[in-house]
Homo-oligomer: A and B are copies of this chain.
Amino acid sequence: MWFMRQAGRSLPEYRSLRADVPMLDACARPDMVKEITLQPVRRYDVDAAILFSDIVMPLRAIGIDLDIKPGIGPVVAEPIREPDAVAQLRQLEPDDIPYITEAVGELVSELDSTPLIGFAGGPFTLASYLIEGGPSKNHERTKALMYSDPDTWDDLMRRLSGITIAFLRTQVAAGASAVQVFDSWVGALSAADYRRSVLPFAKHIFRELGSLEVPRIHFGVGTGELLGLLSEAGPDVVGVDWRVPLDTAAQRVQPHTALQGNLDPAVLLAPWEVVEERARAVLADAEPTEGHIFNLGHGVLPETDPDVVARLTELVHTETAR
């Protein structure tokens, strides 16, 4: 078990560390990456650490002018919408991200037997940020490009997939022992669109990552109708949000696919009895799955009380040890 966004805004020690440091600066400083990644491991008896980073880091590392604006999210100075701009997106090299190699290497030796999960954004989500220029409710420009210029779309997806692969390879080379691809916003697509415009690239990513011989997790929020396709892309584990019970999800994924999830993060704001009841329900739903990693259905909410997270970790460990 671990928690998406276990490192971050719900921890007072994180907020005080980040007080004067912009998000992307923190992600590029090995000392901060290390400290923030370790903070939840100190507090909670989780079974894995997740590298503190941001999905747009590799884009910044190849020279794209972008920043994370508090309260908004990633903002790209010059959105990428034309074939020429796409053609200028270059591949990510390990030398572009020395701070990742350094942070991961030091983390792995400090974490000792606790595994470190590496992570990267998926190509649809990265494409949406680049095309829209920031977070988007409807992804309209992204879909418009996808529908109207499939050649440019494919070129963009090919380049972003290469970047995702390189970002994760660097993390595994430095010692990460599992990887998660967050294609956060693919849930905005119909299954037909995902199959045609994203799946070939997701397959390529998981095939390439296969040679690293570490467990590969694939997750996007609101992907109930896409679980079969996310699994067809070839990961070892599919992450599920709270909208789909795990026993239902187990019927939608390929055989021999483990599931990760899926307590609604908002449940952690409820009284303990509710948290306990719902966590037990997740464990019960997980029984028919072929392997289960307990997690939330999306990231820990900023308002969450860390003591509830600690207590939940204990509960799940006690229950699953039986």
Contacts and interface: CB of A to CB of B under 8 A. Distances in A.
Interface of A: 138-140, 143-144, 147-148, 187, 189-193, 222, 224-225, 242-245, 248, 264-267, 269-271, 274, 281, 301, 303
A244 B225 contact: yes
A265 B144 CA distance: 10
A269 to B, nearest CB: 4
A139 B274 contact: no
A144 B138 CA distance: 27
A138 B301 contact: yes
Given A225-B224, A244-B225, A265-B138, A148 B281 contact: no
A143 B266 contact: yes
Contacts of A224: 224-225, 243
Contacts of A248: 225
A25 B266 CA distance: 35
Contacts of A303: 140
A270 to B, nearest CB: 3
Given A147-B269, A148-B270, A192-B281, 13 more contacts: A138-B265, A143-B267, A147-B266, A147-B267, A147-B270, A147-B274, A148-B269, A191-B243, A192-B245, A193-B264, A222-B222, A224-B225, A225-B248
